[in-house]
Amino acid sequence: MRMRAQWSAAELHAALEPVIEEEVAIFLDRTPAAIHLTDPAQTLNREYYIRHRIETVKRIWLTSRTDALALAAMVGVDYEAARMWAPYVSEELGHDLLFLRDLRAYGVSLDDVRATPLFPSTVAMVNQLERDIEAIGALPAVAYSLFVEWNSDRYSERVTAKAERQFGDARERGSRSHLAIDKNESHYATMLKIAAALLHSRSLDELERLIRGISRHFRGYFAELFDETLGRAAV
């Protein structure tokens, strides 16, 4: 067990980099059509992309609850970490509006989003998060945010740029603003600081296991997204 009293954000960054890189490599290798989201040489499938954005909104609605549960847990363990987590999660809670704005530009209303059933992988991931928070406190929610902010940092710009080229900048204004917020507010760096603080009482192995679990759920999600859109079209 790699357990120690003090982690700096920089040390944690170095320790997590190969873990998340490996997970992304597995994702690209095993998930049908995953590469088409970012590869500039391939056309972005409109139905796949819109359905992805709908699930993004629905996931924000669900994780705003697990983020709040994590805040309650964190307050009792590390008040300074909670002071960083609270503004981050209240910001994230409102990001549904950015993606809903874009979805409207694609002809998808709030009612359409509400009426769209969740993918089973999303439900499974959020239920697992809730059980893990109940069992060990805030770290699972921070692991989730580390994973999504890392991906936002590395890959989301490419996805948005592709969508802008194909469907026009006017449909991607919310997505663009979202990227700017993540970057300007250094969301990934903030998550590293919070995670480093929580590792006073939990091990790096535990954090790594949580990140790999989140990544597995996302692989399941992208497989379901493929089956419902591109996969069905190919049959």
Pick 59 or 187: Cβ nearer Fe ion: 187
Q: How many residues belong to the chain? A: 235
Number of amino acids touching Fe ion (CB under 5 A): 2
Pick 71 or 223: Cβ nearer Fe ion: 71
User: What tokens does 77 get?
Assistant: 């363990």
Binding mask 164-203 for Fe ion (x = CB under 5 A): ------------------x----x----------------
User: What is the rounded radius of gyration, in angstroms, for the C-alpha atoms of the chain?
Assistant: 18
- Shortest Å distance, C-beta 71 to Fe ion: 16
**Does 55 participate in binding Fe ion (rule CB under 5 A)?**
no
Pick 138 or 223: Cβ nearer Fe ion: 138
Amino acid letter for position 152: S
Q: Give 3-state DSSP helix, strand, coil % of the chain, rounded to 5.
A: 80, 0, 20
**Does 59 participate in binding Fe ion (rule CB under 5 A)?**
no
Pick 3 or 97: Cβ nearer Fe ion: 97
Whose tokens are 């959020």? That residue is 126
- CA–CA dist 109, 103 (Å, integer): 7
Contacts of residue 198, Cβ cutoff 8 Å, sequence gap at least 6 = 74, 77, 78, 81, 137, 138, 139, 142
- Shortest Å distance, C-beta 105 to Fe ion: 21
Query: Running DSSP on this structure, what letter comes out for residue 138?
Result: S
Comparing every residue's Cβ against Fe ion, the nearest one is: 187
**Does 23 participate in binding Fe ion (rule CB under 5 A)?**
no
- Residues found near Fe ion in the complex (CB under 5 A): 182, 187
